[in-house]
Chain A
Amino acid sequence: MKNSNVMRYVATCCVVAVIGLFLYIVYESKMLSYLSGDPKVCINCHTMNTHYATWQHSSHREQASCIDCHLPRDSFANKMLAKAKDGFNHSMAMTFRTYGYNLRITDDAAERIQNNCISCHAEAVSQMQQNSQLYSQFDDAVPMGRRCWDCHRMVPHGRTRNLTTTQHNLGVKEL
């Protein structure tokens, strides 16, 4: 009987600790900021400094922020689902250091981006979309079978986007 009281006490402490830890993580990771669309949220961690700086120096910065290209825009549910999925993957990668200096996009992310390219530049690419049906498809991951940025290689991050390219804060001006 006495033993069970101790155990109950331990269990309560553990639950309180978990809740406390969770609240601490919410604070420390600026978790709530991830609900917004502000590009600066993407440089909460330094990993995206280079991508932020290159975007910030591109013409796209006036028209499209990070999430306008990198998240699906067809529905709110899909957007939030993608955010949650990316957030989980990023946390894993950051915690276990599974990423290198040159990040490569996943097929899933490529598809999202290409859909977003097409949705903004719909008129410009409408003929291409039709023509693309007639030719061989290079890449199953994206609509039209060819990634826009295979040719538009500088859009919008330039070609030098190694994570070490913005050392000493050069280029990221908001911090």
Chain B
Amino acid sequence: MKRSTFVTIASVVIMVPMLLLVFSIKENKAEQAAINSVPEIAKLEPKSAEWGRYYPRQYDSYLETRKSDEIKDVLKQDPNLVVMWAGYGFSKDYNAPRGHYYILEDNINSLRTGAPVDQKTGPMPTACWTCKSPDVPRLIEEKGELDFFTGKWARWGNEIVNPVGCADCHDNETMRLTVTRDYLKRGLDAEGSEPFADANHQDMRTLVCVQCHSEYYFKKTTWTDPTGGEQVAKVVTFPWDNGLSAEDIESYYDEREFTDWTHKLSRTPMLKAQHPGYETFKTGIHGQNNLACADCHMPYVREGGVKYSSHKIGSPLEDIQNTCLNCHGETEQEFKDIIARKLERKNELANIATGILAKAHLEAAKAWELGATEAEMKAALMDIRHGQWRWDFAVAAHGGFFHAPEETLRILGSAINKAQDARFKLRVILAKYGAVDYEAPGYATKEEAQELIGLPMEKLVKDKMEFLGTVREEWVEDAATRGIYDPKTREMEFSTSYSE
């Protein structure tokens, strides 16, 4: 009896710490499961707030892009641009980009997207939404890529309601970076030096941005819809088959005889460059050293003991301490001075280029007016096409002056050369038609330039305001009743270049 009592007591004594241990293990395992669980977010969830519930720091810093809110009217700054883009939307309204927060609003408010009265009117195709919203990959998934790229911009007005956000770059299950636009994969594969399949994590920290910060065009693609009807899609395509340089892309377009529009004054078959940020970055010293966009534009920040990458994407100059100085030894002021000087150099050449290009267009218009023939004009017009393309490529690359100063200045140099070649040829034609002394008309302001090219600005603004008060309101209402947008990402004052 004594022995069994002893065994019992000993067993109970041993069992107490064992039970404590079991409870502790169980408790810790539950905690571990909570920590390791990937939050349940739907595939391609377009509402960033849904992701923000689990990643509040990233979400909050993303919302901070609202602080970049200044409307900088680029046409006002250089009225030559109005003349250079005569006959094309950019002559109506063109502002420097604001924070990601405003991406959708600025697209909708721009005079370039016009004033549709229903789903089938307006100047622009659906492709203009491509980079504005995580609703785009959602729609492509639902409708198919070709269907998405078919029709007018207004077709998706009530569907594309969330500004660029989490789902544009992140996989909902693993949070890893992901490319949601297949045209980038096709572009990289066509270019060949860095196929998409080879991309590692560091590459992805650039490539998610490259989905939008690249040169593209809308490729006409015919397809048959399920009812058997023939449709034409305008598919966003990267013109990288020949390479990434300004000349490579220029030859790509020339081979296909592609034109964005025919210039209203000079009748040149024009090209418009769209922010070839990636193409220029790769030629610069930071690109060559395999830095990623996120290295400088999404620096790590700490809050208490937590470290995360800032999603307030903007100029690294706002936080030199935390970006440049991670690698470099200079002071903040030295950096600011160096970079300001780089910008001055670019502006100096860019301003020379726009002055010459605008004159070339006006002189070509005069030559046409005097009766010049197409055969006579052809060579000069090709020079204008190439000159303006190169200037545009150099200045439209956001931050090109910093990412790749040498390449940017080189391209601007060749743009000036092309434009002067054009003017030389045009002067010969003008001389032939008795106008050797012709001097192009001047203009001092954006408004004067817009009048010169015959833009009915008052009507454009009036129509736009009406669109914003009617069709636009319906889009918002529809989206709100269906609960498909995150209202927090759309709280802002109406601010444009044309509103007072």
Contact = CB atoms under 8 A, between A and B. Distances in A.
Most buried by B among A95, A162, A172: A95
A126 B37 CA distance: 47
B138 to A, nearest CB: 23
Which 10 pairs show the lowest CB-CB distances between chains A and B?
Answer: A162-B305, A14-B11, A95-B24, A11-B4, A46-B32, A11-B7, A4-B1, A7-B4, A160-B307, A11-B8
Interface string A12-27: 0011011001101100
Interface string A84-122: 000000010011000001100000000000000000000
Interface of A is mostly: helix
Interface of B: 1, 3-5, 7-8, 11-12, 14-15, 18-26, 28-29, 31-32, 35-39, 54-55, 175, 302, 304-307
Contacts of A4: 1, 4
A78 interface: no
Given A7-B1, A175-B36, A25 B18 contact: yes
Contacts of A160: 302, 305-307
Interface residues of A, number: 35
Interface string A134-148: 000000000000000
Contacts, number: 96
A58 B12 CA distance: 47
A167 B37 CA distance: 10
B20 A10 contact: no
Contacts of B22: 21, 24-25, 28
Most buried by A among B4, B14, B54: B4
Contacts of A11: 3-5, 7-8, 11
Interface in A130-175: 160, 162-165, 167-170, 172, 175
B305 A168 contact: no
Given A4-B1, A28-B26, A165-B305, 7 more contacts: A10-B8, A11-B7, A11-B11, A49-B35, A49-B36, A94-B28, A168-B35
A45 interface: yes
A95 B97 CA distance: 55
Contacts of B39: 168
Given A7-B1, A18-B14, A95-B20, A168 B25 contact: no
Nearest to B35: A46
Contacts of B4: 4, 7-8, 10-11
Contacts of B7: 11, 14-15
5 contacts: A3-B1, A28-B25, A94-B28, A164-B304, A168-B39
Contacts of A170: 175
A129 interface: no
B274 to A, nearest CB: 33
A29 interface: yes
Interface in A22-43: 22, 24-25, 28-29
Contacts of A7: 1, 4-5, 8
A174 to B, nearest CB: 10
A167 B35 contact: yes
Contacts of A17: 11, 15
Given A17-B11, A172-B36, A175-B36, A165 B306 contact: yes
A14 B15 contact: yes
Interface string A46-59: 10010000000000
Contacts of A49: 35-36
Given A28-B22, A160-B307, A14 B1 contact: no
A138 to B, nearest CB: 27
Contacts of B11: 11, 14-15, 17-18
A119 B7 CA distance: 49
Given A28-B25, A94-B24, A162-B305, A14 B36 contact: no
